[in-house]
Amino acid sequence: MSEQPLKKLKRLTPQGSGREPIRVLYVEDSAVIRDTIARLLELKGYKVNYAKNGQEGVELAQSWKPQVVLMDLRMPVMDGYNAINELRANPATSHLPIFVISAWSSKKERTQAKLAGADEFFVKPPDLNRLIEAINRAVE
């Protein structure tokens, strides 16, 4: 039995988009989680950039100008709650859809994320199809 060479995965453009890929900023301190979700989104045609903590995320949101922000809650330097508050307080980033992706999913965390200004809440690991639907809906 001969081995078949692995096929290269084709990069896809998100459905319904005839333009540049959607820019997604992922703010997550765990390299394993960040890299896994970022690669899955890239394979679906999104352009993904990341930050390792909330402070980096706020700075990158201002300079890179993503169309959607994915935000962890518990991170070093600046947590997700404070990062969301800063993004909402800045006119240049206040309009951005912000989706929390967190392992901490109690009612308290969900309420605090909503009060900080999060638009959606996903529990780690997120359902990729649901996440993609939310990203596409937010950008349309």
pLDDT tens profile 103-127: 887 898 899 989 889 999 999 889 9
* Nearest Cα to Cα of residue 126 among 97, 100, 89, 107: 100
Mean pLDDT value of segment 98-102: 94
pLDDT on residue 104: 82
Is 70 exceeded by the pLDDT of residue 11? Answer: no
Q: Which two tokens stand for residue 97?
A: 């859809």
Give the pLDDT band (50/70/90) at residue 136: very high
| Tens digit of each residue's pLDDT (9 = 90 or more) over 123-132 | 988 999 999 9
Reply yes or no on whether the pLDDT at 4 is more than 50: no
Report the DSSP beta bridge partners of residue 49.
25
What CATH topology corresponds to 23-121? Rossmann fold (3.40.50)
Q: Give the other-Cβ count within 10 Å of 24's Cβ.
A: 23
Judged on CB neighbours under 10 Å (0-12, 13-18, 19+), 85 is: middle
CB 87 within 8 A of CB 117: yes
Does pLDDT of 61 surpass 70? Answer: yes
Average pLDDT over residues 79-93: 95
pLDDT at 140: 83
Look up the pTM and report it.
0.84
Q: Cα dist. 83→15, 31, 57, 80, 132 in Å?
A: 30, 19, 7, 5, 22
Whether 19 shows a pLDDT value over 80: the answer reads: no
In angstroms, the CA 22 to CA 13 distance is 9
